[in-house]
Amino acid sequence: MSTSPAFAPAAGGDPGMPRHVAIIMDGNGRWAKKRLLPRVAGHRAGVEAVRKVTREARALGIEALTLYAFSSENWRRPDTEVTDLMALLRTFIRSDLDELAAENVRLRVIGDYRRFGTDLTEMIDGAIARTAANSGATLVIALNYGAQAEIAAAARRLAIRTAAGDIGAEAIDEAAIEAELDTAGLPPLDLLIRTSGERRLSNFLLWQAAYAELLFVDTLWPDFDGARLREAIASFAQRERRFGGL
């Protein structure tokens, strides 16, 4: 039985240091509620947590950091909250893009972010283009992302290629599907963290998480910082990863 490149352990390097970490950033609303603040205050504090964690990830040498910023299900939230989230995304790009570029970080976005409208889409496209040639760490932001839709889209593309005669059905294996996913070209996902005490993946990186280590912490996202990221890495380093072997 062959092993898909997506699930194979990384060759070389420190086995205790994940190459690719993903985070479900949960708990902004509860953080604000505990402080009798509006939900947008929790989202603002969450943006500051993003800054702390991305800087620490770079300092640790993590190759790719994927952050679940806006799911395809988040459109169900009140219009005012969605508007606030989009405004914060604009602010983050304006205020942090220079730092990312200066630090040789490559920005990548997964999900159908074009639903956000022309103005924000152009801003995101510009940020991606500005950092495309960078060769350092990759910061991946999941926007209007849902893993089930991602997998279905990959299947459709492979079906179209099969119907056109470009590939045979026998060529559709794990590696072929992996190549069609939004995360193609990124290191395999090693560690997936969810904050706020919830114990579910919420339609995030379902394929990629097949052999990832999962860590659920009670810390609300605005309180998650560099020290807590290091604690998560220390927990990861203690785990034995066998990828189906002995």
**Known binding-site positions for Mg(2+):** 26, 213
Q: Name the token pair of 5.
A: 């490149």
26 a catalytic residue = yes
Give me the helix-helix angle, 79-102 and 39-60, nearest 10°.
Answer: 20
How far apart are alpha carbons 43 and 240 in whole angstroms? 35
Q: Which of 14, 74, 96, 119 is catalytic?
A: 74
119 a catalytic residue = no
**Known binding-site positions for substrate:** 27-31, 39, 43, 71-73, 75, 77, 194, 200-202
Amino acid at position 13, single letter: G
Q: Which of 26, 96, 182, 190 is catalytic?
A: 26
**Known binding-site positions:** 26-31, 39, 43, 71-73, 75, 77, 194, 200-202, 213
DSSP state of 204: S
How far apart are alpha carbons 143 and 132 in whole angstroms? 18
Concatenating the DSSP letter of every residue in 121-163 gives HHHHHHHHHHHTT--S-EEEEEEEE-HHHHHHHHHHHHHHHHH
- Catalytic site residues? 26, 74
